[in-house]
Structures are given as C-alpha cells and as structure tokens.
Amino acid sequence: MNARRLLCISPRSFDIALCDQLPASEWDVHVARDLNAARRLLGEHSFLVGLLLLSEIDPGRCAEFDDFLHAHDTLEWVGGFKPGALELPACRDLILDRMFDHLTMPVDAQRLAATLGHAYGHATLRLGSGRHETDAGSLAIVGRSPAMARLLRQVGRIAKVDAPALVCGESGSGKELVAQAIHDASRRSNGPFVVVNCGAIPAALIQSELFGHEKGSFTGAGRQTRGLIEAASGGTVFLDEIGDLPLELQTNLLRFLQESTIDRVGSTRSIRVDVRVIAATNVDLETAVSAGAFRKDLFYRLNVLPLWVPPLRERSADIELLAQHFFHKFGSERSRKLKGFSRRALIAMAAHDWPGNVRELINRIRRAMVLAEGKLIQPADLGLEHLDAAPIRVPLDEARMAAERHAISGSLQYAGRNVSHAAKQLGISRMTLYRLMAKHRIDA
C-alpha cells in the first residue's frame, strides 16, 4: 500500500514528534509549524486528512483555526488537545463544527493511527461519492455523471500511451483540465505541461513561439530562443484552439508529429524533441477540413485518440456537485455566515443551459458568494432569477396551462391585439387561437 499523505499542523516540536511514531510505510507526514506553512503545503500537494495538534491552546486563536479548517473542509481533520481544552466553548465549537474526531493529549500512537485511518477511510468515501483525483493528486476532476465517468476511463487509457490526442468540446467545458489530467497520469507527469493558445498568439509570431528561432533570423530576434514545443521536452504540449493554427504552421506541426523533430526559424539543423502533443478544439475540425481551413492529414494524425468533453447542460447530475465543489474551493471569498445554496438556487442552476459551461458556473458562484446577503445563495445572487422555480411548484398540467396562457396573452399584446398576426407568430391557425383564447378567457 502507498503511504497516505498526512498534513500535521503544530506549533510545538514536542507534539510533532508524535508523528514519528506513525509507521512510515503507512503515513507520509508533511509538517507545518504554522498556518502559512500549512497553506503552502496545501497548494503543493493534495491531502485527505489533516492533524491539528494543540497541546497548548490560546482560546483567542480558536477563531483563526476555525476559519482555516472551514476554508479547507475537503480534508477530514483530527485534533489533539490538552485535557480540559474541551471546557473552552471556542475549542468545543472548533471540534464540533470542523473536526472528524479529536483525541486528548498525550496521545497513544496506536490510537492516533486508528483514528487517522478512520478519517482517511471517511475522506475516501466522500471522494467516491463524486470527486475523482488523477494519479498526481494535485487537481481534481469533479463529476459522477455517466458521461463524466466514461470520460475519466478514457483519460486513464489515453494516459498509458504516447500518441497525440485531440480533446473536443465547447469552451469552458474542461478540455484543458482533461489534458492536464492525461499528462498527470502519464509517464511524463514529472516533465513540463506547456499550454499554448494557438488562437491568442499573433499569426506573425506563432511560428517562432512554437518552434523557436535563431539569433537574427528576423527583425527583433535578438538572441536564440527555444520554442514552446522544445520547452515541453520530456513532457506534454497542450495546443489549445488548434483550429486557429495557420495552414503553413499546420504543415510544420504535422512534420513534428511524424518525425519528432523541429526546425527553429532561421536554422538549418533539425532538433529532436521528445514531447507528447495534446490538441484541443471547440470547433468541428471535420467541417474545417471540408472548408479547406484545416489539413486533412493533420486532422487524421491528431484524431487517433479523440476525446469528447460533453457540455455541462448534458451532465446535469454534475451541476450540484461542481457548485458545491467551487463553493468550498473559494471558501475564503465568502462571509462566514454563508452556508450554501438554497433549494431554489439548485433548481435554477439545473434549469439553466450553461452556454459558458463550467467556467460560467465558476463565475456565477464567485459573484453569488460576494453578493449573497442571506445564509443561503438565492437564484438572483447567481443572476438566474428568471429561472427561479418557486412559482412553478405545481403539477405539469397546470404549468402547461400557465405557459400556454402566458404565450397567448404575450403575443396578442405584441401583435397589438391583432389575432391574425398573433396566430402567425404562434404558428397556429386563427381558428385555433380563437379556441384557445376562449379556453383561457382571454379577450382580443
């Protein structure tokens, strides 16, 4: 079994020594002497379990720890306190609100190992309920919809091979995250992951950006420069918006994919580079191929391992999970009284069609976390008040009737009460409209 990663926070080295008694084959302990050091470690690794050892606690500092544990509540926390600490209300709240379990110091090492084991088991259960981590563990792809489960299986398979991959999907759907997950789970994970947005680099510069240039090869080329592909040596280059790559560079890229060599601009010598290419597009490349804007041979070369990231509206099972994930992730941006989403907000989010996908979800949630005034986020905080489901908590028949009535009175209004025009707008005959008006008791 791989050692499980443990974050131990304690200002006292005497307390930390306790961790030495945990078997190294079971626990990989990372120690932080203060909260800043802990934050740094949390940025560098992913942890499932945290241990807070406070054999001397100043009740005045409980609020600080409370905030910290709250902001990092994806970990299960275990506390170690001196006897009597539980009589302090602040300390008791810290344990009740934020901790999986607590022990009284001095702690018996066996007991500690057992408690940490339970906490870890609990955290893994939570993960199994929808949070997936790549092997590198540093970033999480959240989702448990069948579409996402399938995608994650494909990521695992594609990570095992070295051929180019093509990730397709709408903007903001998670293509870059998927590419990063492939890299992290691949044998190249210790090498660089270099992102190139082909749509953002001016056409005149993109060749030297990608392939590098020799000194003096063009005006402004002051010194020899490595390109981004070379910079990704031993790792992966992620070519985002590959459809925007100018045709002549598509030729260079194809040559790189076939021969694994590149030519710097102004150089006569080819350089061998070991880089995996993952490309992404939000346009249909086959259409671009038919239109002559994308090389067919390059398309086939890239499309050996195609991946489709479904838009968020097609995996509605993930919306709530993602929303909760980002609510916690941006924990430090919210006021402490904000507890989560109202039911109506969850319903509105499920009804929205998310043209900007996960990126839009992140933006709406961050905005709501700043704007929300109550304890729970409401549809209006998310800018989704038009989808507030409160008025349609009625049987479908009634909802249909209401919608029909609304459409008819609206188009009559719009048509200046001209029945023929309104009928035309509604796509029904004049007679049908008269019948519906009678049914709903609407006058012309």
Q: Are 168 and 309 in contact (CB under 8 A)?
A: yes
Q: Which is nearer to ligand ADP, 299 or 354 (CB)?
A: 354
359 binds, among Mg ion, ligand ADP, none (CB under 5 to 8 A by kind): ligand ADP
Q: Strand 4-9 vs strand 49-54: parallel, antiparallel, or unpaired?
A: parallel
Work out whether 244 is an interface residue with Mg ion (CB under 5 A). Answer: no
15 binds, among Mg ion, ligand ADP, none (CB under 5 to 8 A by kind): none
Q: Which is nearer to ligand ADP, 35 or 159 (CB)?
A: 159
311 binds, among Mg ion, ligand ADP, none (CB under 5 to 8 A by kind): none
Q: Are 148 and 141 in contact (CB under 8 A)?
A: yes
CB 325 → ligand ADP: shortest distance, Å? 6
Residues contacting 185, CB < 8 A, separation 6+: 134, 135, 136, 155, 156, 159
**Residue 178: its H or E element:** helix 175-185
* CA nearest to 336, candidates 91, 36, 67: 67
Work out whether 76 is an interface residue with Mg ion (CB under 5 A). Answer: no
Binding site for ligand ADP (CB under 6 A): 141-143, 169, 171-177, 322, 358-359, 362
130 binds, among ligand ADP, Mg ion, none (CB under 5 to 8 A by kind): none
CB 321 → ligand ADP: shortest distance, Å? 9
Q: Which is nearer to ligand ADP, 80 or 130 (CB)?
A: 130
Could you tell me the CA-to-CA distances from 315 to 146, 355, 377, 379 in Å, in that order? 8, 13, 22, 20
303 binds, among Mg ion, ligand ADP, none (CB under 5 to 8 A by kind): none
Q: Which is nearer to ligand ADP, 171 or 418 (CB)?
A: 171
CB 328 → Mg ion: shortest distance, Å? 23
CB 305 → ligand ADP: shortest distance, Å? 17
Residues in 164-183 that interact with Mg ion by CB under 5 A: 176
Residue nearest to ligand ADP (CB): 174
In order, the DSSP letters of 94-138 are HHHHH-SEEEESSPPHHHHHHHHHHHHHHHHHHHHTTEEE-TT-S
177 binds, among Mg ion, ligand ADP, none (CB under 5 to 8 A by kind): ligand ADP
Q: Which is nearer to Mg ion, 22 or 361 (CB)?
A: 361
Separation between Cα atoms, residue 367 and residue 362, nearest integer Å: 9
Q: Which is nearer to Mg ion, 209 or 241 (CB)?
A: 241
For 270-301, give one letter per residue: b (16+ CB within 10 A) or e: ebebebbbbbbbbeebeebbeeebbbeebbeb
Q: Is 434 helix (H, G, I), strand (E, B) or coil?
A: helix
Separation between Cα atoms, residue 28 and residue 5, nearest integer Å: 5
CB 141 → ligand ADP: shortest distance, Å? 5
115 binds, among Mg ion, ligand ADP, none (CB under 5 to 8 A by kind): none
Q: Which is nearer to ligand ADP, 250 or 281 (CB)?
A: 281
User: How deeply is 222 buried, as exposed, middle or buried, from its count of CB atoms within 10 A (0-12, 13-18, 19+)?
Assistant: exposed
Give φ, ψ of 354 to 5 degrees.
50, 60
